[in-house]
């Protein structure tokens, strides 16, 4: 079982896996220009797990998309390892993502013309792996979906699609795994299996985890919890699996998981 270091010293001398400085995102809306992310800065050490929590509309998915290089900020910079993501063009970001990032979206983003197994094989094939089929099959087994491996996305339940998306994200062995509500559509038992899998990757392969979640039990297992509100990180607390969700409830009255 993973035990967080109270002094966080295991990360103290590392270069960060991920760093963001003054990230803002402005979008146009019927009401005019809207700031949906407001000067967010953060650092995540290699092998660290962090949870981003906050009410619906707080800007969590927006922040995750910028950190993973899926979207570009209006202002600010992002580094993945020692590479400045925000200095790269679309192709450069895509290459960096393919090599070091796994992403589980809130809406899964599976390719509808590919089976579950083929969806998991795709990133391996794109990176030129020779054992794509066997590695993908193993990943499909790990998320408990072997009996559904030949199903197309429209033939899968929401939770099954989510598990395919998770298998696809970890099959390439990413250095950073971003997941937007990885347990959002899952029953407790499947959700726990998925969470155990994420923390196993974290413990065994040193995969850095950046998780957006409404699940305070999951957040409590992460090393750190960042609380977002209206486009800002307004407080932070230390996680650790020994703390109950009640103990880490934010003072600001954010009570709904």
Dist. CA 27–CA 61, nearest whole Å: 14
Asked if 64 contacts 52 with a C-beta cutoff of 8 angstroms, the reply is yes
Supply 185's token pair. 């559509």
Q: Name the token pair of 124.
A: 């391996």
Q: How many residues bind ligand ATP (CB under 6 A)?
A: 13
Decide: 200 and 9 in contact? Cβ < 8 Å: no
The entry of Mg ion, ligand ATP, none near residue 58 (CB within 5 to 8 angstroms by kind) is ligand ATP
Instruction: Give the up-direction half-sphere exposure of residue 197: CA atoms within 13 A in the CB hemisphere.
Output: 23
The tally of CA atoms less than 13 A away on the side-chain side of residue 162 is 19
Instruction: Please identify, among the stretches 14-22, 28-36, 110-118, 127-135, the one whose residues bind ligand ATP according to the rule CB under 6 A.
Output: 28-36
Interface with Mg ion (CB under 5 A), residue from 45, 49, 61, 115:
61
* Cα end-to-end distance, the chain, whole Å: 24
What values do phi and psi take at 241, rounded to 5? -65, -15
Judged by CB, which is closer to ligand ATP: 54, or 239?
54
107 forms part of the interface with ligand ATP (CB under 6 A): no
d(CA 142, CA 92): 31
Q: How many CB atoms lie within 10 A of CB 60?
A: 24
Residue 27 contacts ligand ATP per CB under 6 A: yes
56 binds, among Mg ion, ligand ATP, none (CB under 5 to 8 A by kind): ligand ATP
Question: Rounded to the nearest whole angstrom, what is the least distance from the CB of residue 256 to Mg ion in the complex?
Answer: 14
Site map (CB under 6 A) of ligand ATP, residues 35-64, x = contact: -x-----------------x-xxxxxxx--
Our CB check for ligand ATP shows the closer of 61 and 208 to be: 61
List binders of ligand ATP among 215-234 (CB under 6 A).
none
Examine residue 13 and tell whether it contacts ligand ATP (CB under 6 A).
no
Interface residues toward ligand ATP, by CB under 6 A: 27, 29, 34, 36, 54, 56-62, 106
């Amino acid at each position: 079982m993973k035990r967080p270091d109270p002094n966080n010293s295991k990360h103290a001398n590392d270069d960060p896996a991920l760093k963001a400085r003054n990230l803002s995102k402005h979008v146009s809306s019927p009401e005019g220009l809207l700031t949906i992310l407001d000067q967010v800065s953060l650092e995540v050490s290699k092998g660290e797990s962090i949870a981003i929590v906050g009410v619906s509309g707080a800007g969590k998915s927006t922040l995750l998309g910028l950190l993973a290089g899926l979207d570009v900020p209006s202002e600010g910079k992002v580094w993945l390892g020692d590479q400045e993501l925000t200095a790269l063009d679309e192709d450069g970001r895509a290459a960096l993502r393919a090599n070091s990032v796994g992403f589980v979206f809130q809406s899964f983003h599976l390719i509808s013309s590919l089976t579950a197994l083929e969806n998991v094989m795709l990133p391996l094939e794109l990176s030129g792996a020779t054992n794509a089929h066997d590695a993908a099959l193993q990943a499909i087994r790990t998320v408990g979906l072997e009996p559904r491996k030949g199903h197309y996305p429209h033939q899968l339940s929401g939770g099954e699609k989510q598990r395919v998306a998770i298998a696809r994200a970890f099959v390439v062995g990413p250095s950073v795994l971003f997941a937007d509500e990885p347990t959002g559509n899952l029953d407790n038992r499947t959700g726990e299996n998925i969470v155990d899998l994420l923390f196993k990757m974290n413990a065994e392969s040193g995969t850095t985890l950046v998780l957006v979640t409404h699940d305070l039990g999951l957040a409590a297992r992460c090393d750190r919890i960042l609380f977002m509100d209206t486009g800002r990180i307004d407080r932070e607390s230390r996680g650790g699996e020994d703390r109950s969700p009640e103990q880490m409830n934010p003072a600001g009255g954010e009570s709904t998981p």
